[in-house]
Structure 1
């Protein structure tokens, strides 16, 4: 989904750079390495990350919740006793660790492993961004069976970049994203991959 959004941005600004998909830890290293100029996405804008990147453009509001095929409506209090899958070193894991959760099962970033773990009963719930979970269960036995509880927290997902990205690239990206929001392109792309219920209603995008 994000790859298609960024590919459309690249097309609009006349850049033919191919979007590369790499492991999340490597992507973060590349984007913070002073010798590399990189665009990184999707990136939740958190206080711990604020000074590490240039925050180029916000794409959509992401809500985080506990989702399960067996235990509906889990919240920050009731989920504590269950085995929770999270992406390793990502905001959901860091957030729950701060809350004292002890039954976390960190998994390298990707959407294929956790749905299998849920389906096989190796974990009880998945705590992540709701649209990511919705995308992850498409084409699996869990499609239509996973229910998400109330929002635990919400942040904007951004396209971010290395601190040494040129102003010209930043301005070009920002204009393209603004136009795509105004034309409804980003929402249409998202709906190609996600069910409508997984998409948080867009607010006014500056």
Structure 2
């Protein structure tokens, strides 16, 4: 063998060694602790709970169950909702739920799997409406969660900045409605019906359903295809097994 041929073999040997090292690293990871993923949730009962003895709410429990089924460990994070969305969107391989799949968010996230549909309506104490157009003419101030899909929907439907009253985490829209600080509350139907009886016995008027969108388990815009595939399959398996319905019925019998 000539010297030139011996030299040309060196890169091949080095490449083989690198491949072997990478294989050993993968095997070590596979046999060690499961990969931990960040899951961002808001405090939005009954969809997600931050501190409840039953669990993390409908969407929260489905996400945690899917992660466990796919072999991932979970680390729950709670940030103000608008900040959580920005944080997850800009990072890599972070998860978030429940996130409505609406046009203004389509390109900011990787959409893994739908958990449940979400209907939204206007809630008030004295004036029921049947359309967005009627709501624009009727309500002076409408409470919505800051950074929520509700806020985006109202802006898309032509409501003015003066009409939209964004509520930060910690604000209680039901109490603001009782105090007359807002004229109406535009929100998800299950969440509003869950919260209201805990606040007041007064009759709450609900409009016709104004919009409906699927609530998703989503990931950062830059998300590992394997994570997406694993979790999408796990959510669908939970649905086929009836586990999603069972979780739903725990919080909304």
TM bucket normalised to smaller? 0.7 to 0.9
1:174 Cα deviation from its structure 2 partner? 1.0
Assess, with a 3 A threshold, how the Cα gap between structure 1 residues 170 and 129 changes in structure 2: closer, same or farther.
Answer: same
User: Residue 219 of structure 2 is aligned with which of 136, 161, 167?
Assistant: 161
CA distance in 1, matches of 2:252, 2:183: 23
Q: Give the root-mean-square deviation of aligned CA atoms.
A: 2.2
CA distance in 2, matches of 1:119, 1:44: 27
Q: Report how many aligned residue pairs link the two structures.
A: 192
Q: Does 1:15 align with 2:72?
A: yes
**Whose relative contact order is higher, 1 or 2, with alpha carbons under 8 Å and at least 6 apart?**
1
Which has more helix, going by share of residues?
2
How far does the alpha carbon of each residue in 1:47-82 deviate from its partner, in whole angstroms, 9 at most, with x for none? 222121110001111111112233335432332221
Cross-structure match for 1:70: 126
Cross-structure match for 1:79: 135
1:18 Cα deviation from its structure 2 partner? 2.4
Assess, with a 3 A threshold, how the Cα gap between structure 1 residues 147 and 184 changes in structure 2: closer, same or farther.
Answer: farther
Assess, with a 3 A threshold, how the Cα gap between structure 1 residues 180 and 73 changes in structure 2: closer, same or farther.
Answer: farther
Cross-structure match for 1:104: 164
Cross-structure match for 2:199: 140
User: Residue 39 of structure 1 is aligned with which of 84, 95, 100?
Assistant: 95
CA contact (8 A) 2:129 2:135 kept: no
Assess, with a 3 A threshold, how the Cα gap between structure 1 residues 56 and 137 changes in structure 2: closer, same or farther.
Answer: same
Unaligned runs of 5+ residues in structure 1 are: 196-206
CA distance in 1, matches of 2:205, 2:68: 37
Unaligned runs of 5+ residues in structure 2 are: 1-56
User: Residue 4 of structure 1 is aligned with which of 61, 65, 79?
Assistant: 61
SS in 2 for 1:18: strand
How far does the alpha carbon of each residue in 1:137-175 deviate from its partner, in whole angstroms, 9 at most, with x for none? 252215x83232111121111111013322221112111
CA distance in 2, matches of 1:74, 1:186: 31
**Taking structure 2 as the reference length, what is the TM-score of the superposition?**
0.68
CA contact (8 A) 1:7 1:19 kept: no
| Residues 119-134 of structure 1 aligned to structure 2 (within 5 Å) | 119-134=178-193
Assess, with a 3 A threshold, how the Cα gap between structure 1 residues 106 and 193 changes in structure 2: closer, same or farther.
Answer: same
CA distance in 1, matches of 2:71, 2:190: 29
CA distance in 1, matches of 2:130, 2:199: 22
**Larger Cα-atom Rg:** 2
